[in-house]
Structure 1
């Protein structure tokens, strides 16, 4: 049944001002262009930890902390197995031409309310991935409590607008595994005239933390999706839900459930 669902004619999951190629064609919508052509464009150099620009022959750079990139985090064989496993489950239509699978609690961010809902833990295939992540010193104590799989497709005009991930429930590090194709993560600020492009190779792992997590919005633009792209993003708990926090008990319950690795999409 899941394979039949995944191969069906795509529908639109967009709401509000968001749009994809499907609803733009059917309803006459048009995607809003959020990229100002006057912005100065930099490229992140992971070996230097710098954002670098070479526009009009003038080289400029500045430190860009809070980014960690792990190339070839998974092998081609693992990548194929991971995507085949995800495709056995149902992909829900999401906004801006994406599809998603959620493994996490039910959250109302506006009211700051969390409940278990149908959450049964992270999926079984993530156990080995989380163990491997912890080999990196930056992630040695990383305990994910939520996982979101996203499916991007150029034919649907998939994208995600510039945004900050929540910091009331979710903690310091955002960890993403990128599968099936290369893409670019675009970093921006509400104030300022700068964009920073982070190249995200196929099968790599990206961590955003510190200033890149809290001071810069991140986005995936439609123009940077050329083939099918699948990613898994893992989030940890904020201090409010950790030992000593106001909601320590709930956090402990969520984390214990997450790390059973018995979950199905909710």
Structure 2
């Protein structure tokens, strides 16, 4: 699906301090460079041992980095093509910082902590087999996704996503992402720390963030780490407030009933 950025009328979804190559070029928006990483010690996550490791001038430094699970080759090349083709048949909406998105989930106002069904019709049909496969992993055996967000990153748009923690009022313990079309790096950071941890995310792999990595470390995708088109699907589950015994379990039950029909279209 070709992109044309030669027209000055081309729109992006950037607001506030957010920017992409489109608005930087055609609107003259200035990108605020974050040089925090230049002052921090950089580590690389090593999945086999669960450690964040740093080698500098022959000195090796490491620490335990819990809450990251990586499943390489979660989908096959044929499945990858089928998934991306299916996404490209739907409409992509412009989003912040050069991303495009497709949402399959309820309408949420996180500031006011309100949820409504809106036009939510469920997760897409192509995700049914993927969710079944996820549950073969003990960490995800009871995973019930209630929302799916597809994101499209492109180097020609300067796509990125700033360091952030996903909401924990509505969204539950595990964040599950399937990475498609190209390798990338998820950069983990803490406000009160002096370190960055780079988590390599291979093409066609599945990543789960939970525990400390979910709640204590912000995650980001930097512009420099998008070298080719990258598409990902992130699945989120409900928090205890919306599960049996929670204050909003009835609403949670409605949301799950809709989500798991796998008949959804982007909202």
- Alpha-carbon deviation of 1:192? 1.2
Q: Which residue of 2 aligns with 1:134?
A: 135
Aligned to 1:32: 32
Q: Residues 168-183 of structure 1: matches in 2 within 5 Å?
A: 168-183=169-184
Whole-angstrom CA distance in 1 between matches of 2:35 and 2:232: 23
Specify the alignment match of 1:12 in structure 2: 12
Displacement after TM superposition at 1:7 (Å): 5.0
Please say which of residues 98-107 and 6-15 is displaced more in the overlay. Answer: 6-15
Superposed displacement of residue 8, structure 1: 5.7
Q: Which residue of 1 aligns with 2:208?
A: 207
Q: How does 1:47-126 map to 2 (within 5 A)?
A: 47-126=48-127
Q: Give per-residue Cα distances to partners, 1:87-119, cap 9 Å, x unaligned.
A: 000000000000000000000000000000110
Moved beyond 3 Å, runs of 4+: 6-10
1: CA distance between counterparts of 2:185 and 2:254? 36
For normalisation by structure 1, the TM-score amounts to 0.97
Give the structure 2 partner of residue 144 of structure 1.
145
1:22 corresponds to: 22
Give runs of aligned pairs for residues 203-242 of structure 1, distance below 5 A.
Answer: 203-242=204-243
Taking the aligned partners of 1:125 and 1:11, their CA distance within structure 2 comes to 29
Which whole-Å CA distance do the structure 2 matches of 1:111 and 1:64 have between them? Answer: 33
Distance (Å, rounded) in 1 between the aligned partners of 2:221 and 2:146: 23
Find the aligned partners of 2:35 and 2:141 in 1 and give their Cα distance. 36
Structure 2 distance, partners of 1:35, 1:115, is: 39
Query: CA offset at residue 35 of structure 1?
Result: 3.8
178 and 141 in structure 1: CA distance in 2 versus 1, 3 angstrom threshold: same
Name the Cα RMSD after superposition.
1.0
Counterpart CA distance in 1 for 2:11 and 2:140 is: 38
Q: 1:8 to 1:258 in 2, by over 3 A?
A: farther
Q: Can you give the 5+ residue segments of structure 1 that lack an aligned partner in the other structure?
A: none
> How far did residue 30 of structure 1 move?
2.4
1:27 deviates by 1.9
Distance 1:209 1:71 in 2: 18
1:255 and 2:256 are equivalent in the alignment? yes
User: Structure 2: which 5+ runs fail to align?
Assistant: none
Whole-angstrom CA distance in 2 between matches of 1:230 and 1:33: 24
SS at match of 2:219: strand
Deviates more, 1:22-31 or 1:212-221: 22-31
Distance 1:35 1:126 in 2: 38
Deviation for aligned residue 1:124:
0.2
Q: Distance in 2 between matches of 1:210 and 1:101?
A: 27
